Chain A
Amino acid sequence: MNFEFSEDQNMLRDQAQNFLRAKSDSKAVRKILESDQHYDEALWKGMVELGWTGVTIPETYGGIGLGHLELCVIAEELGRTLAPTPFSSSVYLATEALLQFGSEEQKQAWLPKLAAGEVIGTVAVGEGTKTVTQQNMQVTARGGKLTGTKLPVADGDVANIAIVIAKDSDSAASLYLVELGGEGVTRSTVKTLDPTRSHAQIEFKGAAGELLGGAGEGWTQLEKLFDRAAILFAWEQVGGAEASMQMARDYAMGRYAFGRPIASFQAIKHKVADMYIAHTLARSNCYYGAWALSTNAPELPVAAATARVSATEAFHECSKENIQTHGGMGFTWEFDCHLFYRRSKLLSLNLGSLPRWKDMLVTRIEQSNLDHSSQ
């Protein structure tokens, strides 16, 4: 049995940590937080040069042809450092959608550019403050022309292409690849609770969309895409959870009250222990998710929802209790606690809310013939 990352993958992690520690430190993240820059272009360029945007893209399409385990390693480190780039939109979602559903022609057209970082991609699903379903979806496609508004779209203001889900008829939706610089597309940056990651509203007025994958199969494809992305998001969440936990622990070691480090009080120790428990459960579920993703296992839908739910809960737990451990200072703009708190909620909503994933998880357990026993 081998339930660990390989030596090469761990070397990649070391490389990623060294790079991100230098290029995506608190100062870099805060520059995006407090300016009107959409993302850290220098950091993005560095990531592209390291080949990260092409990790899962085969060499024939200009990638470096590693695999999803490598991408999980990178995701964790990006989550740990709150890297303010469009990586998740472009790599976990747009690239993955093309790899999964793209025609040969589409792959040849877009994958080399995505790998080279010349093109940023994203996925457009949300339509305001409601859960989008195939029935209530407002964005429509008629004869390859899209109409309607998507909001919020992660990196929608900087992306060159978007994979958009749109309704073809009352009973069918499809995925469309839309060039966002084209006619009939209007986009504007929107304010979100995490300004370190840019989001947009995109309005389509007869914008040209190219079918991606099967006609009428959009909803199934989207679910499949989100399952795969959920595991990568979960690794970001685990990275963020661990960073928050470590931050709480380190602060408690140095902060004195009542004549002793607050880390010596059981109230604080037990809080940190609870963070460790939540984080460890999530990390172990992410290992399984990584395995399922990298092997395309039939267990993938259950593994993805499990990793997603526990990583969402762990990051929320760790980021909110990190603020609490810091006391008043944790609630200042100056301390970084709120950056993790913000990111935790952003990541938990980006692919659909926790209650929805919990519901899907149970549906999948009901459907699967998996062994539910703990052995």
Chain B
Amino acid sequence: MDFSDTPKEAEFRKQARAFLDANATPKSKATPRRDEKEADLIKRAKAWQKLKQENGWACLNWPKEYGGRGATPMELIIWGQEEAKYDVPTGPFAIGLGMCGPTVIAFAGEEQKKRYLPKMASGEEIWCQLFSEPAGGSDVANLRTRAVKDGEDWVVNGQKVWTSGAQYCDYGILLTRTDPNVPKHKGLTMFIVDMKAPGVEVKPIKQASGHSGFNEVYFADVRIPDDHRLGEVGDGWKVSIVTLMNERLAVGSAGGPDAGELLELAQTVELGEEPAIQNQAVREKIATWYCEQAGLKFTKLRVQSALSRGGTPGPENSITKIVSANKLQGIGNFGMDLMDMGGILVDEQPMEGQFQAAWMSAPGLRIAGGTDEILRNIIAERVMQMPGDIRVDKNVPFSEVPQGGKS
């Protein structure tokens, strides 16, 4: 066992660092941008993406002809490790490049790939993913948005929800129901949709935390040409699996305070007459979260090691989101406890309010990209090879599946 790069990897890392050093500021030296307007963030993000693409550092694992670099999975990881050390805006592109791009690569016709992928890679156009619906969250295939063939076009009516970034996106991949008279998984079809097309309406959702990162997207007689279909008619579920597999690769650890930050806080606040860090209960909690944090870190390294050696990673990474989101909620909660009565205050929080912010955002993280419960099902079914649930809607035409009173 050793943690050093192979000579080839080391050379690649050196090149990545050289580019980043020349063009970006390390996080440690950056000034926080607390109140940046969204439009300014998007502008900055597009400029950074364009610069990366022009220099061969965008969408590293995509083929060169579509704007990528044709890099290995390990090179992609190395780039990610290095880029993460710099104060650069990558968030607006995470879904488009991480999930939509790979789906377009896998299922679009050549003409569409040439039209859309290079502009996605260069940041000129931002993409979103339109799967979830009011009646289809964990049960995504229960979606109701209809696409009906009309000449060479499809006409779409319905509503999507939880669409991150829809307000600034140019295109999206849209999962629709094209046949309600077959069982739910069989009647779905995927499309590329122009988010600026007539009939598309985006409404922000105000989250429990007060922020608005997600939207409702309404479709009223939106026309999509048939050549913007991804995969065959009725194969939408298969296509969406590819997208979602990429989502699980893209969704990493939840950001925010970790055991180290909690330790730092415990060293600065008092509990009773002594620094909180001297309290045994506090120490035990820090130890527990430190072990989870370390376990995730080394799990990631095991996966990277397999990739580095040209192997296929095992399923270990499936634990990442479930552990990190719950850890974040626990640390945020306990961090505020250490502030005692003052823990509720918003403007007086130590360490830039990260514990309160973590606690407020953690409920969303435990749901987004697969709830804790769905992820446990996935671990049990895919990793431990346990049977799927018995489904009452399995062989029933979608139109006859009970939907309950609430949408």
Contact = CB atoms under 8 A, between A and B. Distances in A.
Nearest to B261: A372
A270 B286 contact: no
Interface string A348-374: 000000010111011001100000111
A312 to B, nearest CB: 10
A1 B7 CA distance: 10
A252 B291 contact: no
B389 A277 contact: no
Chain B binding surface, main DSSP class: helix
Given A285-B291, A285-B294, A359-B284, 18 more contacts: A1-B2, A1-B9, A4-B1, A266-B389, A269-B380, A269-B381, A273-B380, A280-B316, A281-B323, A285-B298, A295-B1, A358-B287, A362-B287, A365-B286, A372-B263, A372-B290, A374-B296, A374-B297
A72 to B, nearest CB: 10
Contacts of A263: 380, 386-387
Contacts of A277: 319, 322-323, 379
Interface string A263-283: 110101110111011001110
Contacts of A69: 1
Interface string A300-335: 000001100110010000000000000000000000
Given A270-B380, A290-B1, A374 B284 contact: no
Contacts of A306: 290-291, 294
A95 B21 CA distance: 50
20 contacts: A1-B304, A1-B308, A266-B377, A269-B380, A273-B376, A273-B377, A281-B291, A281-B295, A284-B295, A284-B296, A285-B291, A285-B298, A310-B294, A310-B295, A358-B288, A359-B284, A362-B263, A362-B283, A365-B286, A374-B297
Contacts of B277: 362, 366
Interface of A: 1-5, 69, 249, 252-253, 260-261, 263-264, 266, 268-270, 272-274, 276-277, 280-282, 284-285, 287-288, 290-291, 294-295, 305-306, 309-310, 313, 355, 357-359, 361-362, 365-366, 372-375
Which 8 A-B residue pairs are closest in the complex by CB-CB distance? A372-B260, A281-B295, A269-B380, A358-B287, A3-B305, A284-B298, A273-B376, A273-B379
Contacts of A366: 263, 277
B383 interface: yes
Interface residues of B, number: 58
A374 B377 contact: no
Given A249-B386, A270-B373, A272-B386, A2 B305 contact: yes
A4, A269, A276, A291 pick with most chain B CB within 10 angstroms: A269
B346 interface: no
* From A69, A249, A276, A355, residue with most partner B Cβ within 10 Å: A276
Contacts of A305: 287
A212 to B, nearest CB: 30
B341 interface: no
B206 to A, nearest CB: 30
A263 B384 CA distance: 10
Given A359-B284, A366-B263, A3 B1 contact: yes
Contact of B308 (A2, A285, A362): A2
Contacts of B296: 281, 284, 374
Given A273-B380, A277-B379, A288-B298, A358 B4 contact: no
B294 to A, nearest CB: 5
A1 B4 contact: yes
A318 to B, nearest CB: 12
